[in-house]
């Protein structure tokens, strides 16, 4: 599966702020490959803004449409006015592996439930507009061994399949290649085996 994700390093976040009726809404958006990454982002936001009124959250720690590694929280705002609208904004963006914390400093004017939904939605949508993105390709590990003469042929063919060679181990009986193979592609190596005249051994389990 191929989908866009935030083009941010692990532990990095982007900052965006809006003001509505004197309340400040500060959005931190980050690359969230797993739930632990989101927990770290939230802890960092709480430490940086300990006096904020609320730290509302939403994340998708997987592919778009993921229903397992997701979460959202109103953090004291009226139920359904913050976390869920934030999550829906993330979901509507088509991004995967993304999460955000919206830090609110109450400005003295109550916004009402409809106003809160609009404010938290706007805070996330605007933050996502300027977020750098890159394509993500789900991959599975694959390991093969070829003789020394066949290494260049194997590398050329694998590049055409959008397969990444993560490491190469040179031993007495040839080269062992550890490959990250795109899950969206059938991992049929018969064409490569034919090009190498059978001088290919598959070492992974499947």
Q: Identify the pLDDT of residue 54.
A: 98
- Rounding to the nearest 10 degrees, give the CA dihedral for residues 21, 24, 25, 28: 170
Query: Two tokens at 159?
Result: 């590049």
Angle between helices 112-129 and 83-93 (to 10 degrees): 30
Q: Residue 187 pLDDT > 80, yes or no?
A: no
Q: Identify the pLDDT of residue 173.
A: 86
Structural domains in the chain, CATH included, are 2-135 (3.30.230.30), 138-203 (3.30.70.240)
Q: How confident is the model at residue 205 (pLDDT cuts 50, 70, 90)?
A: low
Q: Identify the pLDDT of residue 203.
A: 85
Q: Identify the pLDDT of residue 65.
A: 86
Q: How confident is the model at residue 1 (pLDDT cuts 50, 70, 90)?
A: confident
DSSP H helices, the chain, are: 35-48, 83-93, 112-129, 151-160, 190-195
Q: What average pLDDT does range 20-45 have in this prediction?
A: 97
Q: Identify the pLDDT of residue 14.
A: 96
Q: How confident is the model at residue 13 (pLDDT cuts 50, 70, 90)?
A: very high
Of all residues in the chain, the percent with pLDDT exceeding 70 is 99
Closest CA to 128 of 49, 60, 72, 81: 60
Q: How confident is the model at residue 206 (pLDDT cuts 50, 70, 90)?
A: low
Residue 47: Cβ-neighbour burial (10 angstroms; 0-12, 13-18, 19+): exposed
Compare 11 and 86 and report the one with higher pLDDT: 86
- Give residue for tokens 């109550």: 110
Q: What average pLDDT does range 113-133 have in this prediction?
A: 97
Least confident of 51-55, 56-60, 186-190: 186-190
Q: Identify the pLDDT of residue 67.
A: 85
């Amino acid at each position: 599966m191929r989908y866009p994700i935030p083009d941010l390093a692990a532990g990095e976040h982007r900052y965006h702020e809006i003001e509505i009726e004197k309340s400040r809404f500060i959005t931190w958006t980050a690359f969230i490959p797993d739930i632990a990454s989101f927990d770290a982002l939230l802890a960092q936001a709480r430490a940086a803004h300990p006096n904020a009124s609320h730290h509302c959250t939403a994340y998708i720690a997987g592919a778009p449409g993921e229903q397992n590694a997701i979460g959202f929280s109103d953090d004291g705002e009226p139920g359904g006015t913050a976390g869920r609208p934030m999550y829906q904004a993330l979901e509507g963006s088509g991004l995967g592996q993304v999460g955000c914390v919206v830090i609110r400093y109450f400005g003295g004017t109550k916004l009402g439930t409809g106003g809160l939904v609009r404010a938290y939605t706007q805070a996330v949508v605007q933050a996502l507009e300027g977020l750098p993105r890159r394509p993500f390709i789900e991959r599975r590990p694959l390991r093969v061994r070829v003789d020394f003469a066949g290494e260049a042929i194997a590398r050329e063919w694998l590049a055409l399949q959008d397969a990444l060679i993560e490491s190469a181990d040179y031993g007495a009986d040839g080269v062992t290649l550890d490959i990250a193979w795109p899950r969206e592609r059938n991992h049929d190596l018969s064409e490569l085996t034919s090009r190498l005249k059978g001088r290919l051994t598959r070492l992974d389990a499947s």
